[in-house]
Amino acid sequence: MTTQRKVYRSRISILLLIIISFITIPVSISLLQDGSLLDKIIYSSIILIFTLLITGIRYVISGNILFIRIWFIPFGKVDINEISSIKRSYNPLSSPAASLKRLAIYRYSKPNVVHALISPNREKEFIEQLTQINPNIWVDMPQREEKGGVCDWDI
């Protein structure tokens, strides 16, 4: 028996990228003008690693497990049968999500504690797949037309 495996990339927030740019551009300009070669190499490496982290966030549904990965590195996993609810969240806490528009995942064992904050692209399809595996998941999402954003990028 083969297990269906579905991969979702993280949505990428344009607003988050603008904020990061406002922080990094002045440092970049300063380093280009006055930095040593070693400073430039270190700073470029940090920017490259950060870019790879942002673009490598994946949510993999395989069987009854939701795997959270950054490229090939496992970041966590959730048994889909233990998910009690999914709610919209804009919580800015650090999480494996490249967008501030997130889904908060709650488990039966700790119903008042967020287990994971994620931001999958193709969000509706993602939630439908989770509820096909566990039809008892309570989905609390506002039903409004989404404005802003291009493809899986959002504001």
How do residues 22-69 score in pLDDT, each as one tens digit?
Answer: 888 888 888 778 878 888 888 888 888 888 888 899 999 999 999 999
Q: Express as a percent the part of the chain with pLDDT over 90.
A: 40
Q: Where are the alpha helices (DSSP H) in 10-145?
A: 14-34, 37-55, 123-133
Q: Which residue has the higher pLDDT, 96 or 145?
A: 96
Which two structure tokens, joined as six digits, stand for 64? 């009854």
Find out whether 101 and 13 touch, Cβ atoms under 8 Å.
Answer: yes
Element at 88 (helix H, strand E): strand 83-89
DSSP helix, strand, coil percent of the chain (3-state; round to 5): 35, 35, 30
Domains of the chain in start order, with CATH, are 1-143 (2.30.29)
Confidence bin at 82 (pLDDT 50/70/90): very high
Q: What angle do CA 141, 143, 147 make, to 5 degrees?
A: 105
